[in-house]
Amino acid sequence: MTLTCCFHTLTGARCAARMIAICVFLLMLPASINAAGWGNSYRDHLLQGMRCSFSQPRWLFAAGGIAGISRFDRDVRSAATGRLLPAPLATMGDYYGKGVNYLLGSGYILSNRLGAAHWSRQQRLEEWQLFTESLVATGAATFLIKKTTQRLRPDGSSRDAFPSGHTSTSFCVAAFLHRRYGGRTAAPAAAMAMLTGISRLHHDRHWFSDVLAGALLGGLLGDGFAELEKQATPGTPPDLHWRLSWVVVF
Q: What is the pLDDT of residue 117?
A: 86
CB atoms within 10 A of CB 129: 22
Q: What is the pLDDT of residue 30?
A: 57
This prediction's pTM? 0.83
* Number of Cα atoms under 13 Å in the Cβ half of residue 138: 38
Sequence spans of domains, the chain: 2-32+58-230+237-249
Q: For residues 90 and 101, what is the distance between their CA atoms, to the nearest angstrom?
A: 15
Task: Give Cβ neighbours of residue 204 (< 8 Å, ≥ 6 apart).
Answer: 77, 81, 82, 154, 155
Torsion on CA atoms 145, 148, 154, 158, rounded to nearest 10: 110
Q: In angstroms, what CA-CA distances link 158 with 46, 151, 153, 162, 200?
A: 30, 8, 6, 11, 14
The continuous run of DSSP H or E covering 16 comes out as helix 2-36
Q: What is the pLDDT of residue 236?
A: 39
CB 147 within 8 A of CB 160: yes
Q: What is the pLDDT of residue 27?
A: 56
Q: What is the pLDDT of residue 19?
A: 67
Q: What is the pLDDT of residue 14?
A: 61
Q: What is the pLDDT of residue 21?
A: 63
Across the chain, which has 250 residues, the per-10-residue mean pLDDT values are: 41 60 60 50 75 86 93 96 95 94 94 89 86 91 95 96 97 96 95 98 97 97 85 39 38
Q: What is the pLDDT of residue 4?
A: 42
